[in-house]
Amino acid sequence: MNSVLKAALFGATALTLSAGSAFADFNLEVLHINDLHSRIEAINKYDSTCSDEEATAGECFGGIARVKTAVEQKREALSGGSLLVLDAGDQFQGSMFYTKYKGAPIAEFMNGIGFDAMAIGNHEFDDGPEELLAFIDAIDFPILSGNTIAAEDSVVHDKFEGYKVFDFNGEKVGVVSVLATDTGETSSPGPKITFEDEITYLQKAVPELEAQGVNKIILLSHVGYKRDQEIAAAVDGIDVIVGGHSHTLLSNTDEKAAGPYPTLVKNPSGDDVPIVTAYAYSKYLGDLSLTFDDDGKLTAVSGAPILLDASIEPDEEFTARVAELNEPLEELKKREVGESAGEIIGDRTVCRAEECSMGNLVADAMLARVADQGITLAIQNGGGVRASIDAGTVTMGEVLTVLPFQNTVATFQLKGADVIAALENGLSEIEEGAGRYPQVSGMKYTYDSSKEAGSRVISVEVADGNGGFAPIDEDATYGIVTNNYVRGGGDGYAIFAEKGMNAYDFGPNLEDVVAEYIGMNSPYEPYTDGRIVNVAK
C-alpha cells in the first residue's frame, strides 16, 4: 500500500448518512487544497521556507512537488474511478515566488497536476483584476465565483462562471463557488467588482442547477469555516462544502484541529452536510470519499487530510522546475528598497529587552499600512525581529533577513483591559530574553521589570489623534495590528486568539510592508522616542 493510501486511511472517519436503498450507488473521490499562498517550496513547522538542515532531518512538509505526487498516487489507486481535484482559493501571495512571478508558475503547476476547478480567493485580487485575468488566461480548468460580480467594463467580465457541471458517465456533479463578501476590504478588486451575499446567491444558484438535472452539488467556497457552517444551515440542496479562507485544520486525530473531518451541519431539511477544509500552505491534501444513491442523495462519507510529510516523495520534474524558478530570486534579494540615514538596531539583546529602532520601524510600518481601517495600535513581538540594518542603501535581502518568517499583517479588535494583559504577557519573560517582548506603535507604556511577572505594567497611554496621548480606557475597544503568528496566540499572546474580535490574519506580507515603508520615507531616519520605559533601569 503506498504512503498516500496509508495516510488517507489512518484516522479517516466513515459516516453513513442515511440507510438508502439505491441500486446504482455513485462513488466520488474529492481531493482538495486551499490557501496555498505561493508556498511552492516545502515549508517547516512554522509555515516558512524549509532549510537544508530541516530537510535533512525530515522536518519539511508540503510543497507543490509533493502535492503532485500525492494526487498522482490517488489517481493510480482509483484506477479510473470518479475523481475531482479542487482548490478552494488563495493561490496568490505569500512567498518570494509570487513577488517575483505572480500567477504564472502557479498556473503552470496547477495545469501539470490536473486540477478540475478552483474557487477565486480574496488574495487572487491582491494585484487587481488584471493579474487575475492573466492567471485565468493561463489555466486549463475553470475558476469559479458565483457571488463575485464583475461590471461589464471590468477586464474579468465574463471570464469566470458561478458553477461548473461535471459529467461522470451520466452522473452530473455541480461545483458552485462563493467568495467572502469583505474581499473589497481585504484585497484590491477595485470599484468594478462587487460581491453578493453568499447565501442569497446560493439560494438562487442551487435551484438553477437542480433544474438542469444536477442532483449532486458541491460548494467550493472561500468564506471560512464559520461561514461555511452558516451556509450549510441556511441553504437546501448543497451536498458537500469544500472550503478555504480561514486556514482551518479539520481532523479526527489532531488535538489542534478546529473540528472533525468532515464537520456535519444539518441543512434546513434536516440532512447532514459534510464540511471539509485542509489548513493551508500545501501542508495537507484533503481526501474525501463520497457515496450517492441513484437519486443523488449522499449516503456515506469518509476521509481524512493527508499530511504531506517526508513519506511523500516530491515529484522529480516539479522539483527541478521549482529549483529553476528559485535561481533568479537571489537577484530579488539584492533589490534596493530605499536608504537609511543610520543603523536600524534589530539586535536580539536589545529588541527583546527595551524599545529598539527596528521594533519602532516594524510597528510604525504595520500601523501606517492599516490606519485607514480604523486601526490605532500596533504590537510586534521583539523575537520577530532578527537582525539590524546598516546605514546606507537598504536591500530587500536585508529586509528579509530582519523578517524571514513570511508573516502576514493581522488585524483585530480588543478591549483596553486585554491590551494591558497582552503587554503583561510580553513583559513576563524579559529575564529569559524571550521573543514575546512587545515593540509598539500608536501607544506608549511604562513598566517595572523588578516586579513579578504579571504585575509589571504601570501605565499605558494611547495616541489621542491630536498629537498627544491619553490613558487607555479598559472598557473601550481598540483596533490592533500585529503579525499573524502573534495574533494566533504565538509567543504567549493567547489573549489575542481567545478575546480578539473580527480577526483577519491574512494581510500583505510583513516584509513587503516594511520595505514599502522604508521606500516611502527614504532616507529613513531610525529613532527611539521613549514610547517604552522601564522604571527599574
Residues 204-250: tens digit of each pLDDT: 999 999 999 999 999 999 999 999 999 999 999 999 999 999 889 99
Residues 458-480: tens digit of each pLDDT: 999 999 989 899 999 999 999 99
Share of the chain above pLDDT 90, in %: 76
pLDDT at 147 over 60: yes
Which residue type is seen at 535?
Answer: V
Query: What band does 18 get if pLDDT is binned at 50, 70 and 90?
Result: low
Vertex 211 angle, CA 209 and 212, to 5°: 65
3-state secondary structure 446-482: EECCCCCCCCCEEEEEEECCCCCEEECCCCCEEEEEE
pLDDT at 82 over 60: yes
DSSP letter string, 369-417:
HHGGGT--EEEEEGGG----B-SEEEEHHHHHHHS-S--BEEEEEEEHH
What's CA 259's distance to the chain center, in Å?
18
Q: What is the distance between the alpha carbons of residues 262 and 225, in angstroms, rounded to a whole number?
A: 11
In terms of DSSP bridges, do strands 240-242 and 263-266 run parallel, antiparallel, or are they unpaired? unpaired
Q: How far is CA 362 from CA 11, 207, 292, 359, 528, in A?
A: 42, 50, 53, 5, 12
pLDDT at 10 over 60: no
pLDDT at 295: 93
Query: What band does 4 get if pLDDT is binned at 50, 70 and 90?
Result: very low
Q: To the nearest whole number, what is the mean pLDDT of the chain?
A: 92
pLDDT at 12: 58
Domains delineated in the chain: 3-326 (3.60.21.10), 336-534 (3.90.780.10)
Length of the chain measured in residues? 537
Residues 512-525: tens digit of each pLDDT: 999 999 999 999 99
Region 328-345: mean pLDDT is 90
pLDDT at 1: 37
Which residue type is seen at 175?
Answer: V
What's CA 124's distance to the chain center, in Å?
12
List the 457-463 sheet strands across, edge first.
469-471, 457-463, 443-447, 532-534
pLDDT at 6: 37
Does residue 262 have a cis peptide bond before it, meaning omega lies within 30 degrees of 0?
yes
Query: What band does 388 get if pLDDT is binned at 50, 70 and 90?
Result: confident
Query: What band does 23 get if pLDDT is binned at 50, 70 and 90?
Result: low
pLDDT at 21: 46
Q: What is the distance between the alpha carbons of residues 306 and 312, in angstroms, rounded to a whole number?
A: 10
Q: What is the distance between the alpha carbons of residues 411 and 157, in angstroms, rounded to a whole number?
A: 31
pLDDT at 11: 52
Tell me the pTM: 0.73
Q: How far is CA 92 from CA 336, 381, 423, 505, 509, in A?
A: 24, 26, 34, 15, 12
Region 271-285: mean pLDDT is 96
Q: How far is CA 529 from CA 89, 286, 352, in A?
A: 43, 50, 17
Q: What is the distance between the alpha carbons of residues 123 and 34, in angstroms, rounded to a whole number?
A: 12
User: Angle at which helices 64-78 and 104-113 pack, to 10 degrees?
Assistant: 20
Residues 399-458: tens digit of each pLDDT: 987 887 778 999 999 999 999 999 999 999 898 777 899 999 999 999 999 999 999 999
Q: Which residues pair with 298 in a beta bridge?
A: 292
Residues 151-162: tens digit of each pLDDT: 999 999 999 999
pLDDT at 392: 92
